[in-house]
């Protein structure tokens, strides 16, 4: 049995599952890229590559947080997704304004153009999803959940 | 990596992806066609992986970075397999959509693998 918490969240359902999968793919992509960068050329741009690794880790945690139940994971999901949103906006803007800082590609360079702008769109969708699917108090778990379909 | 084979792979992956998205959004659970299309994408990936392993022996060397290439190649192998696994467990229309998303991601990844093999560092 998982430790009981004050609130319960229904298992992620419906279109939210697609969101989780896209998050997982992005996490995989960011992880793969940062692995290659760190193995091969960490010395060239320690800052950019550390950032790459951090963003990969954050995507992985966000994926888990979207799936996991409970109020704590709900909060973690908000924190990680907000971090991603800020990251893609700040790094994206910096890579346009001061390209010399981010000469080495990262997930967030140019607002994620290398990843079809998915890093820019995904946090928005994630936030929309989270705000529509707040944890419900324990005990009313059987109650119909808005937005949860088939 | 063989160039024409990569383009064929990309075409198949895009077709399979679009098929799964359409079927999925029309409300069907994963069926033989959508699972089969994704399985075909996976089969082509396995063939291309073997080709990539063997082709240096035949004088077809990657121009780009091999480590990056194989990180893509291995990730690509995992994706459709995971999506099919998911579709077999979770029998909803969203699993069909997920098959489509995975196939489209493969199209992008094969494009990138092809770039690394043929054009990177040239």
Q: A interface mutation test: which of B27, B70, B71 has the most A CBs within 10 A?
A: B71
Residues of chain B neighbouring A116 (CB-CB closer than 8 A): 108
What residue in B sits closest to A32 (Cα-Cα)? B71
- Cα first-last separation, chain B: 16
Q: Within a domain: residue A122?
A: yes
Q: State residue A138's pLDDT score.
A: 58
Q: How many domains does chain A have?
A: 1
Closest CA to A57 of A79, A89, A90: A79
Q: Within a domain: residue A83?
A: yes
Note whether B101 contacts A: Cβ–Cβ < 8 A: yes
Could you report the per-residue pLDDT of A12-32, keeping only the tens digit for each?
777 888 888 888 988 888 888
- Nearest neighbour of B98 by CB, restricted to A21, A28, A33: A21
Q: How many helices (H) and strands (E) does chain A have?
A: 4, 2
Q: Within a domain: residue A38?
A: yes
Task: Report residue A148's pLDDT band, with 50, 70 and 90 as the boundaries.
Answer: very low
Could you report the per-residue pLDDT of B24-68, keeping only the tens digit for each?
999 999 999 999 999 999 999 999 999 999 998 888 888 888 888
Q: Within a domain: residue A147?
A: no
Q: Within a domain: residue A21?
A: yes
Q: Does the ipTM surpass 0.90?
A: no
Q: Within a domain: residue A142?
A: no
Q: Within a domain: residue A104?
A: yes
**Chain B residues 8-27 within an 8 A CB cutoff of chain A:** none
Enumerate the domain spans of chain B: 3-118
Could you report the per-residue pLDDT of A60-88, keeping only the tens digit for each?
999 999 888 888 999 999 999 999 999 99
Note whether B89 contacts A: Cβ–Cβ < 8 A: no
Measured between alpha carbons, how far is residue B44 from residues A21, A38, A84, B37 in Å?
22, 30, 34, 11
**Is residue A139 classed exposed, middle or buried when 0-12, 13-18 and 19+ CB atoms within 10 A define those classes?**
exposed
Q: Within a domain: residue A74?
A: yes
Given a contact cutoff of 8 angstroms between Cβ atoms, the answer to whether B48 and B9 are in contact is yes
- What range defines the domain where residue A77 resides? 14-135
Task: Report residue A89's pLDDT band, with 50, 70 and 90 as the boundaries.
Answer: very high
């Amino acid at each position: 049995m998982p430790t009981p918490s004050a609130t319960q969240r229904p298992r992620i359902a419906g279109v939210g599952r697609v969101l989780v999968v896209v998050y997982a793919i992005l996490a995989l992509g960011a992880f793969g890229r940062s692995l290659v960068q760190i193995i091969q050329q960490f010395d060239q741009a320690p800052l950019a590559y550390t950032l790459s690794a951090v963003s990969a880790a954050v995507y992985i945690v966000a994926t888990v947080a979207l799936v996991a139940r409970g109020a704590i994971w709900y909060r973690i999901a908000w924190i990680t997704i907000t971090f991603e949103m800020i990251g893609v906006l700040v790094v994206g803007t910096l890579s346009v304004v001061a390209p010399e800082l981010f000469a080495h590609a990262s997930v967030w360079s140019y607002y994620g153009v290398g990843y079809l702008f998915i890093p820019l769109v995904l946090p928005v969708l994630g936030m929309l999803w989270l705000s529509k699917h707040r944890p419900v108090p324990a005990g009313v778990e059987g109650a119909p959940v808005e937005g949860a379909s088939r | 990596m063989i160039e024409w084979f990569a383009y064929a792979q990309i075409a198949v992956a895009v077709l399979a992806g679009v098929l799964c998205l359409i079927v999925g959004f029309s409300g069907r659970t994963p069926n033989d066609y959508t699972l089969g299309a994704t399985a075909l994408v996976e089969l082509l990936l396995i063939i291309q992986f073997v080709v990539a392993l063997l082709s240096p022996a035949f004088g077809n060397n990657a121009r780009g970075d091999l480590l990056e290439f194989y990180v893509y190649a291995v990730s690509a192998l995992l994706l459709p397999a995971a999506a099919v696994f998911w579709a077999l467990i979770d029998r909803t229309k969203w699993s069909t959509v997920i098959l489509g998303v995975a196939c489209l991601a493969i199209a992008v990844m094969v494009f990138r693998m092809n770039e690394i093999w043929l054009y990177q560092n040239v």
